[in-house]
Each structure stands twice: as structure tokens, then as C-alpha cells.
Copies of this chain bind each other. A is one copy, B any other.
Amino acid sequence: MFKEALQEVVDGTEGAFAALLMGYDGIPLEQYVREDRPMNVENLGIEYTMVLKSVMNAARNLGSGSTNEVAIRAERLTTVIRLLNDEFFLAVALSPNGNSGKARYLMRVRAGSLREALE
């Protein structure tokens, strides 16, 4: 079911090319990469585990509650990350002009069932 969820998010989002379900320890659980746009999505996840740790640390220090989502727009890559629970996050990689709003929406509506399946 994980693979299907990842594929639905990627295929349903204009400009998305990969999705990854990963633990904050950098160990991937599942991934989906569009065949016409190969990329090492595990490397992406591993780099972003460091970012998420600093984000969660900041949220703790600021008392802003649990972090739900992080979006990072770089020159050649947009990444939207949904924090699912204390162990896992879902990341989607898009081209800079991809529809990140659609990715966010699809990730949000699937978060509940992914969270249930992860417990």
C-alpha cells in the first residue's frame, strides 16, 4: 500500500517525479521514482533528515507545536515534506515549476491512512 500511495501522489502532481517514505534515522521504507525522470531519492531523504531534525529542534525551542510540513524551493528542485509521526516522513520531489500545492494536498489527504498503516 505504501508504494501505491507514493505513486498516486507523484502521478497526481504536475511536475513531481519522485516520492519517498523514510525514517528520521535515514532508513528508507518505500520509494517511487518516475521512470522518465530517474533520481537518487534516497540521497535526497538522507540530506533532509538533517534538515528535519533542525526544524523539529527549532519548533521545540519556539513552542510552536509539532511540525506538520516543510517545503524547500531551490533553483533546480522543490521538495515538499510531510511529517507523518515520530518515526517517518513523506517527501516529494518536484521540478521548480511543479504544482507544489497539489503535492501538499495529496500528501495531506493520504497522511491519515499512511499513519495508520505505519503503526
Contact = CB atoms under 8 A, between A and B. Distances in A.
B75 A62 contact: no
Contact of A57 (B50, B61, B73, B75): B50
A113 interface: no
Range class of the A interface residue count = 20 to 34
29 contacts: A43-B61, A47-B61, A47-B62, A48-B58, A50-B57, A50-B58, A51-B51, A51-B58, A59-B74, A62-B74, A62-B77, A63-B76, A64-B74, A64-B76, A65-B74, A65-B75, A65-B76, A65-B77, A66-B75, A67-B72, A67-B73, A67-B75, A68-B73, A68-B75, A69-B71, A69-B72, A69-B73, A70-B72, A101-B101
